[in-house]
Amino acid sequence: MRIPPLRGGHRIQLLEGSREFFPALIAAIDEARAQVLLETYIFDCTGSGADVAYALERAARRGVSVQVTVDGAGTELEDSWRWRLEQAGVQFRVFSPLGALGLLVPGQWRRLHRKLCVVDGKVGFCGGINILDDYHDPNHGALQSPRFDFALRVVGPLVTQMHQTMARQWLRMQAMSRARRAQLVGALESLRASRARVPSAPAAPLATGMPRAKAALILRDNVRNRAGIERAYRRAIGRARNEIIIANAYFVPGRKMRRALIRAARRGVKVKLLLQGRYEYFMQYYAARPVFGALLKAGVEIHEYSPSFLHAKVAVVDGMWATVGSSNLDPLSLLLAREANVVVEDIFFAARLRERLVYAMEHEGTRMNAVEYENRSGLQRAKEWVALGVMRAALAIQGKNYL
């Protein structure tokens, strides 16, 4: 599939962490009059995550249609919260619930990883931030510093596409639910007709009082949109002339992406990567490291973020092109998961994101030393190749080959 063209007429606001994202999201939900659509990989009501749940509850109780989709692997919402939200009228669906064998079943690694919200068809949100408090981690508990992540708030034509994307996903899941209840014929007809039956959203107003940013929504799924996000990255990298900054939580780029970054560095572009510096998951942490050697030799700067977990999936190229979204640059995102990124061409938006990333690299990260990397221990290397082998095996089970 080709990369969608960027359209003008958008007002876009960068939001860092749940401390900025949640207040903006809650304000939009509290102003909702007709509909709230929300998709997230993790929905956790610990800490400030509960504030979002309360906002959804308030909206449903005043008659707003509230439809929430969560991922079956990422979310284990407490029964008390699930009951409370459903009693208020919140419609809840779980994408691909895990069975007894969990992720061991082929196909179960295909997760709903995107984070999207549209309110009344007028304002949209997209990014990497789950409904999860910045200072809480479901696996590691309380965090001393906030998770490093971004989302954006958008008003403009892009919101209509976001709405259609989410409404279509809801209808597909509804059809699948009916099929599981043995209404197979009607469900298949509903699925085939879903494109035509997606309810239209009110037209989003054009931005006023600020520069008309150009933007595009780029999706990744297992049907029509299989490689759009990776292609968008590679196109921007290939066109770069001065600087590429990428912050990515789980960075295991395939050959094409690695070659693009190496070629950019060799033609004089400053290539800087801000990556996960703290151990979070064995496979993602160690599988990334075998690819660092070739990048370091080409002159790519690698900075490891360590104050807290880095969860961002963002980039800035030449101070103009930027992307914020849910997609990691690893095979789980680029080959298996449903993802959503927004690409923005706007000097003001890019400048703010770049400023934050540069600060993180200079003051909150540690630059990787090429000599120390080459002299890392045999135990470290063994862990790396075990992790890479596990990743390759997991992909093979899903019928994929990436590295």
Give me the active site residues, please: 113, 115, 120, 311, 313, 318
CA distance 300 to 19: 32
Pairwise CA distance, residues 61 & 66, whole Å: 10
- H-state helical runs in 32-155: 49-61, 79-88
Please return the burial class of 142, using the count of CB atoms within 10 Å of its CB with bins 0-12, 13-18 and 19+: exposed
CA atoms within 13 A on the CB side of 305: 28
- The Cα-based distances of 191 to 91, 116, 263 in angstroms read 19, 22, 44
Residue 382, CA distances (Å) to 31, 86, 273, 376 in order = 54, 48, 24, 11
- Check residue 9 and give left, alpha or beta (phi > 0: left; psi -120 to 50: alpha): left
Q: How far apart are CA 142 and CA 135, in angstroms?
A: 6
What's the rounded Cα separation, in Å, for the pair 335 and 60? Answer: 36
Angle of the 255-266 helix axis to the 228-239 helix axis, nearest 10: 10
